[in-house]
Amino acid sequence: MSEKKVTNKTTYLEAISQAIREEMLRDEAVFLLGEDVAAYGGAFKVSAGLLAEFGPDRVIDTPMSEGAIIGSAVGAALMGMRPIAEMQFIDFITCGFDQIINMASKMYWRVGMPVPMVIRGPAGGGTKGGPFHSSSPEAWFFHTPGVKIVIPATTYDAKGLLKSAVRDNNPVIYLEHKLLYRLPELREELPSEDYTVPLGKAIVRREGEDMTMLTYGAMVHQCLRAAQVLEEEDDLEAEVLDLRSLSPLDREAILASVKHTNKVLIVHEDTLTGGIGAELAAILAGELFEYLDGPITRVAAPDVAFPYAPPLEAAYLPSAEKILTAARQLAAY
């Protein structure tokens, strides 16, 4: 009986698929384009069944050109459509970098017209994808005014944040961690009624008094595991704040949490140097210096290319064990 209940719950991947379908039903201006999204149903089967339901005018297979995909989406958005452009793997978003940086992000200031579009795709490691299928590119766009960045950590948020992204009048980069797509423990019973999760609002996943863990995406779950061990073995309560949106950033929630706990551990999967954590550290050092009872600490990937060999990948990625070690050092300061 219990196994049947779990099976009927929605996966992270299914939540994304549901969001796309429901937004296409709600608004005829919404359409999907990308490599293999139509006939094949997407590399990870996110768009399976959508071609049959909506037809080739709204579910469009494109050439293997991310620049063309994103450029077409920008043009369509300027003409009043709401495109969802899929990157088969988010690593290849770099092929459309110019279209994002010099077109999508600046078009409103250039011509005064909104660019309501979503660029979405699978990001992150842990699936033995090697250096060309495992990147976390959020920091590249975090530096770009005019682009919003969303990274859901839960099934509920995966659906609600994508719906908000589609309805937003700005270009939104929506990063889906592929490790979470079919993770059994992320299955949830989602509301049957329409719902959204607002962009730019962080959420406390676990309350605590002794330190704040600032994180997002798949690292939320690694931080929660580490926080559980801290409570059981060290009698320490770590607060885990899931940022959810990197741009806009919920500065109020970040400052409130760290002001409450007085110590902060920043965790992200992307490489360390110049990452999101560096900006978070600068914000905290500039605005909460007198409240800090220890050094601003970061756990991130090393500044090397993403490895392919499984043992090297495990050594490369931040983990609950690495977070736990850093948290204990910070607590002892």
Residues 168 and 225 in one domain: no
Asked about 221 being catalytic, the answer comes back as: no
Tokens found for residue 118:
């979503």
pLDDT averaged per 10 residues in sequence order, the chain, 333 residues: 53 98 98 98 97 98 97 97 98 97 96 97 94 95 97 98 98 98 96 97 98 98 98 97 98 98 98 97 97 98 95 96 98 96
Largest CA distance in the chain: 60
3-state DSSP assignment of residue 264: strand
Model-wide pTM > 0.75:
yes
Residues 16 and 157 in one domain: yes
- Domain limit, last residue, from 124, 159, 186: 186
What CATH code is carried by the domain that includes residue 9? 3.40.50.970
Residues 175 and 44 in one domain: yes
C-alpha closest to that of 288 among 246, 323, 252, 259:
259
- Domain limit, last residue, from 186, 217, 248: 186
197 is a domain residue: no
pLDDT score at 257: 98
- Domain limit, last residue, from 159, 186, 213: 186
Residues 212 and 179 in one domain: no
Residues 305 and 222 in one domain: yes
Tell me which H or E stretch contains 260. helix 251-261
End-to-end CA distance of the chain: 49
pLDDT score at 8: 73
Tell me how far apart the alpha carbons of residues 140 and 276 are, in angstroms, rounded to a whole number: 9
159 is a domain residue: yes
Residues 162 and 271 in one domain: no
**Helices in 48-96 by DSSP H: which ranges?**
50-54, 66-78
Residues 57 and 138 in one domain: yes
260 is a domain residue: yes
Tokens found for residue 75:
């043009």
Handedness of CA 51, 56, 59, 64 (dihedral sign): positive
191 is a domain residue: no
Number of independent structural domains in the chain = 2
Tell me how far apart the alpha carbons of residues 51 and 37 are, in angstroms, rounded to a whole number: 8
Residues 214 and 250 in one domain: yes
Residues 17 and 123 in one domain: yes
What CATH code is carried by the domain that includes residue 303? 3.40.50.920
Q: How far, in Å, are 113, 264, 318, 319 from residue 323 at the CA level?
A: 44, 12, 7, 6
Cβ proximity of 156 and 121 under 8 Å: no
56, with CB counted inside 10 A (0-12, 13-18, 19+), is exposed
194 is a domain residue: no
Residue 168 backbone class (left: φ over 0; alpha: ψ -120 to 50; beta: rest): beta
Residues 217 and 119 in one domain: no
Residues 182 and 208 in one domain: no
The DSSP string of 268-287 is EEEESTTSHHHHHHHHHHHH
C-alpha closest to that of 238 among 204, 272, 268, 270:
204
275 is a domain residue: yes
Residues 132 and 253 in one domain: no
196 is a domain residue: no
52 is a domain residue: yes
Q: Nearest 10 degrees: CA dihedral of 281, 283, 169, 245?
A: 40
Residue 308 belongs to domain spanning: 203-332
Q: How many helices (H) and strands (E) in the chain?
A: 13, 12
Single out the catalytic residue among 133, 177, 221, 268: 133
